[in-house]
Chain A
Amino acid sequence: MPGLALSSVEVVYDKVFLAIKGVSLEVGEGEMVALLGSNGAGKSTTLKAVSGLLGPERGDVTRGTITWDGTDLLRMGAPDRVGRGIVHVLEGRRVFGHLTPDENLVAAYSGRRGSQPFDALRDQVYEYFPRLKERAKSKAGYLSGGEQQMLAIGRALMTEPRLIMLDEPSLGLAPVLVEEIFGIIRHINAERKLTVLLVEQNAAATLRIVDRAYLIENGQIVMSGEAATLAKNPDVQEFYLGGGGKVDYHAVKHYRRRKRWLA
């Protein structure tokens, strides 16, 4: 099957802690799929199992299979998986803070045989994120949170991925910025047929842009389906979309007052 497939994947940290318990999911080629869940549910662990980044955290896939276009990923090191077109944008952005945005892009460019020229890829990134170009010469560590997220995505695009996995790109960003970044991801997905696996806690914004979604709780997939269907599901509304879509105006007012007070 083309695309990504996880089947009954189990991950254990430190040889004892079972973090995900038999996760199965599929992302077809060109699809945009979300993995939603609250803090500690096992979202990042799932992505690390795919990208091969469990090793440095003493984690290990102890059961199940992960395939990409039918080839077994589990025996490959992280750089080889990137070579196969899989890239992971880490939680918390993790840009190379002491390098400039330009240098961040250079570092991620492999220059392996068959790749596009560096300049073409970089221009493309700056076209998606014009803001980065303005800051191209300052240290990435001093960029704003939104700019760092854009850089983290741009840097990932330099590897010429076929599958991009994004771990909570909306974390800590203002809603307008989230809209902007999600819009660009959607655009890249549509324009370049780039397969996307988007990990989020922010279910409301996410379900608006993805095709399908999986819900993960306590290391297990508890629900999956078309985004529109899920958004209408009462449980999803209650637990992920803040109570039946009704806004509690009293709470909002209270919050506004508090905020003015603090400011």
Chain B
Amino acid sequence: MAYFLELLVNGALVGLMYSLAALGFVLIYKSSGVPNLAQGALVMMAAYAAWAMVDFGLPLWAAVIAAAALMFAFGLLVERVLLRPMVGQPVIMVVMLTLGLEILLRGLVPGLLGAAPKPLDIGIGLAPVIVGDVFMNRAYLVGGVVAVVLIGASMLFFRTRLGTKLRAVSDDHVASWAVGLSVERAIAISWGIAGIAAVGAGVLWGSVQGVDWTLSSLLFPAVAVVILGGIDSIKGVFVGGLAVGILGSVIPGYLDAYAGGSTRDVVTSLIILLTIMIRPYGIFGREDIERI
């Protein structure tokens, strides 16, 4: 029982950290309707940025803020240089473009800053937190808490005036232009915010597994999270993250011994496949409202 609880709790915490990686994906989808396949590379780049700032001599908090500013600016740049010329083109072209960006960043960033894994110490001890007889990974615990805070903040953000405008833009670009909303600016802002969310994910995951290109493979669980939770739902990011994390921890916890390891990836891909077959919009995804 304690073993099960441990798998459950640590899985949930890891799942919340997946949510963090998935958050930017949803933010961008919500405003522009584009599935951003470069989200993994954004997380990786954010981790590299934070590491570089620390390496440069900044204290951690300043490094995080500087990385957030940098990633926000990078998000704006992506919109201006890559996406704006694509206005009026089919979405599939834009999706391919984000995939190209993912591949480019995966090569470019480690190429410039060093491919060897780099430690990113965020001052969290290694000693587990023990509640009852359940051992919780301290880094995961911090990660889970940060994830919940950032997800909550995003939910509040979408109720503000600016957040409402971003949601309007995601609903109908032409109608947005018609009432004076700058669709371009809204998309730029959502990429900027996705960049900031990537800093949260990048720093936490970087501290757990080191900073190198492999961070970009967080794209895979992040995609599972958004497909399960609903591609445009922040609530879905939260619930989907928990589900993917827990299933990806509990099932391998019992099966890996027989299957020779790595059942987690199988679980993750099954989540993606089954969700699409059974409930294509995910748990909280919006279906298109039939016009009356």
**Chain A residues packing against B (C-beta within 8 Å):** 51-53, 55-58, 77-79, 82-83, 87-90, 94-99, 103-104, 106-111, 139, 141-145, 148, 155-156, 158-159
Contacts and interface: CB of A to CB of B under 8 A. Distances in A.
A159 B165 CA distance: 13
Contacts, number: 94
B182 A96 contact: no
6 contacts: A55-B88, A88-B178, A97-B291, A98-B286, A111-B161, A141-B291
B178 A142 contact: no
A214 to B, nearest CB: 22
B292 A155 contact: no
Given A82-B179, A94-B174, A56 B167 contact: no
B164 interface: yes
Contacts of B178: 51, 53, 78, 82, 87-90, 94, 156
Interface of B: 87-88, 161, 164-165, 167-168, 171-182, 286, 289-292
Contacts of B180: 78-79, 82-83, 87, 108, 110, 159
A103 B175 contact: no
Contacts of A139: 289
B142 to A, nearest CB: 34
A102 to B, nearest CB: 9
B161 A106 contact: yes
B165 A107 contact: yes
Nearest to B182: A79
B292 A79 contact: no
A56 B171 contact: no
Nearest 3 pairs between A and B by C-beta?
A82-B180, A141-B289, A107-B168
B177 A52 contact: yes
Nearest to A92: B291
A104 B175 CA distance: 11
Contacts of A88: 178
Kindly name the residue among A95, A97, A107, A109 whose own CB sees the greatest number of chain B CB atoms within 10 A. A107
B290 to A, nearest CB: 8
Kindly name the residue among A90, A95, A96, A99 whose own CB sees the greatest number of chain B CB atoms within 10 A. A96
A82 B180 CA distance: 5
